[in-house]
Structure 1
């Protein structure tokens, strides 16, 4: 994932707070992934308008962490979601 890429949730995929599990989940047709705090923090910044670089910078400022570390961790997470078709990326 490059800093210019724009991650977006595809049609039918959304973040949802599951009251039964008391956890955030990523829902897709007939699939769901339970998110930990890190996954939720990353996906809550994905709005389909901001680039990966902008998202990384926002998270780095919020958590007072080097942007390079955030970029590495976030890219791995988002690439895994992309491979499972929970995420689209526009150049």
Structure 2
């Protein structure tokens, strides 16, 4: 499976943890996670890893921040800032 994520435009200041919304992307090096806010409980945040499709759920934004070791190396991108292509290749 190939994942191609191109950043179309980065904001000068960048987005902070308080800006995170449903559909946003969290990038750390080559790891890309999609943010999915829980519809039944707005405090729960589901993070979907695009390499493995594993889902990690956190209860608060502070728990989200503690999930990543060095928050200064994290990029938060809105869906309007990226172009995402996922390609699947079937093997026998």
TM-score under structure 1 normalisation?
0.28
TM-score under structure 2 normalisation?
0.28
- Higher gyration radius (CA): 2
